[in-house]
Amino acid sequence: MKNSIAERVSDFLKNHPPFDLLDAKKLLNIAEEVVIIYLEKGDVLFKQGTSFNNHFYMVRNGGISLTYSNNNTQEVVSISDAGDIFGVRPLIAQENYKLTASAHEESIVYGIPIDSFRLAAENNSKVYKYLITAFATNAYDAYTTKETHEIFVDYLPSNSRDIANFQTANYTKKPVTCGVNSSLKEAALKMSKNKIGYIVVIDDTKKPVGIITNSDIKNKIATGIFPIDTVVTNIMSSPVITNKRNLTVADGQLQMIKHNIAHLCITKDGTVNSKLVGVLTNHHILVALGNNPTAILKEIIRAKRTKKLRNARLKADTLLKNYLEQNIPITHITKVISKINDALTVKAIEIALPKMPTPPPVKFSWLAIGSQGRKEQLLYTDQDNALVFEDVPEAKYEETQAYFLELSKYVTKSLNKIGFEYCEADMMASNSAWCKSISEWKSQFKEWILTPGEEAVLLSSIFFDYSMVYGSQNLTDEITDTIYEALEESNLFYKLLAQDAVKSPSPLGFFKQFLVEKNGEQKDMFNIKNRGLMPLVDAARLLVLTKHIKGINNTFERYEKLAEIEPANKELYESCSYAFKALTKFKTKQGLQHNNSGKFIDLETLSKEEKLKLKRCFKPIDEIQKTLILRFDLKTLPI
């Protein structure tokens, strides 16, 4: 007699990895022993710290939250949807659970018997590759990396490629060192004897105080600036950048990119105030990763022509695809690709400057605005930028502005050749409206804030997301200070921004169907940017402005900061952060798949599970918009 329940379970499992890698008979054997678990919202399946059991799990319907508790606070690590597996720890490593699994909503979960699964998957390397990847993704020290804003696991990988980025980095355990009173000659002899290109300077307690590399010797000794017998403290780079043991390859790579270094000192507690225990070098990263952003950045730095920059950006696209296929967290991906995009802009400016008849007449700052300003530009999109220069006498203004307009035309032309299209609305530094002195920019922002209108709100939604890419940071800081000073004088501006943030309602209609375009070339397509991402972007911008939070432009980082300072709304803000990451990842994958911006999606090409994952991201949009309506009393706003 057939077991109809087991057959239905088997029919579901066979459509999801890793069960799609098993033959039908073995899969049915597993299905016959599957435990079907019904959970109401809030029910707990297993708790952090409890002993492992003899099942791992797959979501059949609904959603399961995986959370980590620390110091009476609870962090949402991920939300597993239909077809996702979780609780794999007992299968891979027989340890107590590190996370708590509870029902995010009414759910049905399949408990997969580990012994039966092992028997069915015996000698199937593809199955175990997938499970190890899934385990590494969820088992990564999420609560630690959450604190450093480096990672947020959204959902499980769709294939089982290399996970080297999140393996523990190998580093030199016995680094070559010298004391603070050593001479450079003594240090150089040690370097030569050990055939290495660096030496760490330590104090009497073996704490690292500096580092000397071959470049330091070349630039400071060979040039005659210091004699060979000088004390090492005269030429060392200090302070050193440190990290703790057990850091991942990804973390080490990000630190090196961020600080533009090739050596990371590993200390007992991760700070400069503890004993040196090792050194992670760029070579270690290269060995671990092979194709990596460090090599791309070096190629950009060495480039002399725009063509070389385009080649580097094409490599970044390949890197982006690989990262997505490996299910590298979107937080890491955005940081790396943003660093590459900024480096391309810097190099475009450096290539343009020698083409000018004279050096810049005054200091200036090149600003990335919009998605690049938020460090969220992953795909090729049109360029949005602006330029601010120091004040000059009125008689010199026109001449100075003309200089920077000409420079900007060279730069935007290079960016266009690299692959970033010209902005259709001409929001670029090559437009005199967006190339101004610091005083003019201050007046512009004050006008937008103090006498707001529809155009002011539209423009501020673009120009309030900016970051300095090249030039004077002081000029950028002056603009920021002016914005917050003006905001103190205008409550109406906040209301107008809030009204703009809720103008695009939840992406789902009354019957929970996707709201699609009604006419035009994109008829029946879903606009994931305007209906999904931008409401979250607009809400985050508005809320950080009201809190006077400076220096955080990235949308998911804004929500994480809001969760920190508004504990009462912590769950909502974390949900918004998660939704933004998941939607960004989805849009990027669609863009790479169809060789476009990923903005419009043909829903017919999506699987049921993909649609479910999208819909899960829309609830926070509805909730954050309701919060804005209440907080800014939008019903009383004159229309």
For 169-178, what is the mean pLDDT? 88
Length of the chain: 639
pLDDT of 147 above 60: no
Alpha-carbon radius of gyration of the chain: 27
With CA atoms as reference, report the closest residue to 419 among 341, 351, 334, 318. 341
pLDDT for the residue 99: 87
pLDDT for the residue 92: 65
**How many Cα atoms sit within 13 Å of 259 on the Cβ side?**
18
For 342-349, what is the mean pLDDT? 96
For 211-236, what is the mean pLDDT? 91
Interhelix angle for 492-501 vs 534-546, to 10°?
A: 160
Residue in this structure with the two tokens 């790396």, named with its chain if needed: 336
Question: Using H for helix, E for strand and C for coil, what is the string for 427-494?
Answer: CCCCCHHHEEEHHHHHHHHHHHHHCCCHHHHHHHHHHCCEEEEEECHHHHHHHHHHHHHHHCCCCHHH
pLDDT of 546 above 70: yes
Task: Please report, rounded to a whole number, the percentage of residues in the chain having pLDDT higher than 90.
Answer: 48
8 Å CB contact between 288 and 249: yes
pLDDT by residue (tens digit) across 82-108? Answer: 888 888 877 766 678 888 999 988 999
pLDDT by residue (tens digit) across 245-281? Answer: 888 777 887 788 777 788 999 999 989 999 999 999 8
- pTM for this structure? 0.61
In this structure, what token pair is assigned to residue 116?
A: 């039966």
- Other C-beta atoms closer than 10 Å to the C-beta of 452 total 18
Residue in this structure with the two tokens 């909730």, named with its chain if needed: 623
Residue in this structure with the two tokens 């120009």, named with its chain if needed: 463
Q: In whole angstroms, what is the distance from residue 7 CA to residue 3 CA?
A: 6
Q: In whole angstroms, what is the distance from residue 82 CA to residue 533 CA?
A: 23
Residue 103 is given by DSSP the state E
8 Å CB contact between 62 and 104: yes
Q: How confident is the model at residue 288 (pLDDT cuts 50, 70, 90)?
A: low
pLDDT for the residue 89: 76
